[in-house]
Structure 1
Amino acid sequence: MKIFIAGASGVIGRLLLPQLVQAGHEVIGMTRKEEQRGAIEQTGAKSILADVFNREQMVDILTEIKPDVVIHQLTSLSQGSSAENARIRIEGTRNLVDAAKQAQVQKIIAQSISWAYEPGTTPATEETALDIHASMPRKTTINGVLSLEEAVKEIPAYVILRYGTLYGTATWYAKNGDTAKKVFNQEMKATDGVSSFVHVEDAANAALLALDWPTGTYNIVDDEPAKGKDWLPVYAQVIGAPAPDTQSGANSWERGASNHKAKNEIGWTLKHPTWRTGFLKS
């Protein structure tokens, strides 16, 4: 297949590209940064320099390439701005989907998140409603997710991957990442809030496998949703940081997510089924 990846130089894209090439696909990776083109091409993929906010440019590119599948892995996380990340989910996705429709793309695979669900006391399933009544600043993130997912569903076949919190190489949880720095500085407290993680290798593998998955939305998380009081001390120990302070309480939406659908209905398997061992291999 001919596959176009938007966000090819991101933490998932850089792992996904060589897997797609090795699987025999013709891969075109898009990036906004000229300096990233070499790394994309070293995987055996073609590279293209483009800005997803330029609607006309996206239409021209996809109309010329005519890919069979578009993989949307675009995020804007380097500055830690929820507003900028929401913008790329809203405006960027709109431009990408409109261009894909004009190019008659038949399938799209898109990155979403698994912590956008409404408040609850058990891990959320894909049937759980998103947190549409969230207040600011969380509402900014929810609006971005809603817009992205609604746009993606306009393509004939779609797979929405609601990733858990990414950890592993080049993520915020890498030993030189932003989260690691906060833990070293004891700026994070271990709370009762529940998180679901997914190793970046498993996240990339899910995107590869999604080429053959049926249309639908899937939580891509590991097997063990966990309270901060459980996972944060383990993470701190692994990276050699001081033990974190603890604090009772949690946000009502910090409930984690269930991977039952992806595992039991599709047969997805994880290389890193739990953060307990995954942290050690990051």
Structure 2
Amino acid sequence: MRIFVAGGTGAIGRPLVAALVEAGHVVTGTSRSAAGVESVRALGAEGVRLDVFDAEAVARVVADAAPDVVIHQLTALSGGAPAENSRIREVGTRHLVDAARRAGVERIVAQSISWAYAPGEEPADEAVPLDVEADLPRARTVAGVRALEEAVAELPHHVVLRYGLLYGPGTWYRRGGLADAVLHGDTSDPAAGFMATLVANDAVSSFVHVEDAAQATVEALEWPTGTVNIVDDEPAPGREWVPVLAAAFGAPTPGPVPGRAGWERGAANGFARSLGWKPRYASWRTGFGV
């Protein structure tokens, strides 16, 4: 297939482009920088520089690529700016979907998140609604997710992948990453303020290794239309996973703190498993130390 990967140099984008090329697909991957374009080309794909907020530019590069499928992996996570990430989900997705429709593309696979569900006691499955009644600042994140998912659903065949918290190469949760710095007491990075999950509390999180996320995205090319949680097998409270992460990074273990918000419930991966997806790292317990 001819595949257009919007966001070919992100944490998922890099292993995804490599996996698609290895599988024999003809891949065009985008980046915001010239260096990123070169890194996409080094993976064996066609690299294109793109400002996703330029609607005409998006339309042009999608038309030139003439893809069978568009894969949406656009984020601003590397800069730690949630407002910019919401803008990408709302404006960038709108431009990408419009460009796909103009180019006659009917299939799209898009990145979403698994922590935008409404409050509850158990890990959320895909039938649980989004947390549309959330207060600020969470409401901005949920609104961005809702806008992304609704726009993507305009294409006849769409798969929305609600990834868990990503860990591994290129993510915040890696040796040398933001989580490592915060656990060692370095909060000089402005993005450190967004690492509130590094509290050993009762808040439940679901993780997924970036390589497993990329593999799920490849497999999603053949999945039916719908929404799928891409998380590992073990949703867990911070009091369980934070000490394991700290040990993996050789950092002090934060003391336990009681309590959680209602939406901090994690997510269930039963549907993804039923589609045949099998994460290599079934639990963060083994994955954090890799």
Q: Give % identity.
A: 52
The more displaced of 218-227 and 171-180 is 171-180
Measure how far apart 1:184 and its partner are.
1.4
The more displaced of 57-66 and 67-76 is 57-66
Aligned to 1:11: 11
Aligned to 1:233: 243
2:206 to 193, 196, 211: 196
Aligned to 1:161: 161
Letter in 2 for 1:137: P
Deviation per CA, 1:224-272: give whole Å up to 9, x if none: 00000000001101110001121100111000000001102x1111100
Measure how far apart 1:128 and its partner are.
0.1
The answer on 1:273 being equivalent to 2:282 is yes
SS at match of 1:280: coil
**Kept after mapping to 2: 8 A contact 1:186/1:242:** no
Deviation per CA, 1:119-140: give whole Å up to 9, x if none: 0000000000100000000011
**Kept after mapping to 2: 8 A contact 1:186/1:245:** no
SS at match of 1:78: helix
**Kept after mapping to 2: 8 A contact 1:191/1:250:** yes
Which residues of 2 match residues 25-174 of structure 1 at below 5 A?
25-174=25-174
Aligned to 2:262: 252
**Kept after mapping to 2: 8 A contact 1:4/1:71:** yes
CA distance in 1, matches of 2:233, 2:8: 27
**What is the CA RMSD across the aligned residues, in angstroms?**
1.0
Which residues of 2 match residues 181-192 of structure 1 at below 5 A?
181-185=181-185, 188-192=198-202
CA distance in 2, matches of 1:171, 1:116: 19
CA distance in 1, matches of 2:142, 2:71: 21
CA distance in 2, matches of 1:82, 1:40: 25
CA distance in 2, matches of 1:175, 1:55: 37
**Kept after mapping to 2: 8 A contact 1:186/1:244:** no
After superposition, the Cα gap between the structure-2 partners of 1:102 and 1:279, relative to the gap in structure 1 and judged at 3 Å, is same
Measure how far apart 1:117 and its partner are.
0.1
Gaps of 5+ in 2: 188-197
CA distance in 2, matches of 1:185, 1:21: 40
2:222 to 212, 220, 229: 212
SS at match of 1:87: helix
The more displaced of 30-39 and 57-66 is 57-66
CA distance in 2, matches of 1:126, 1:256: 12
Aligned to 1:223: 233
Letter in 2 for 1:131: D
The more displaced of 36-45 and 252-261 is 36-45
Measure how far apart 1:65 and its partner are.
2.0
CA distance in 2, matches of 1:211, 1:78: 26
CA distance in 1, matches of 2:74, 2:145: 12
Size of the aligned set, in residue pairs, is 280
TM-score by length of 1: 0.97
CA distance in 2, matches of 1:170, 1:27: 21
Measure how far apart 1:64 and its partner are.
2.4
Measure how far apart 1:37 and its partner are.
1.4
Deviation per CA, 1:12-66: give whole Å up to 9, x if none: 0100111101111100001111111111111110001111100011112212222
CA distance in 1, matches of 2:206, 2:10: 21
CA distance in 2, matches of 1:151, 1:186: 39
Measure how far apart 1:186 and its partner are.
8.2
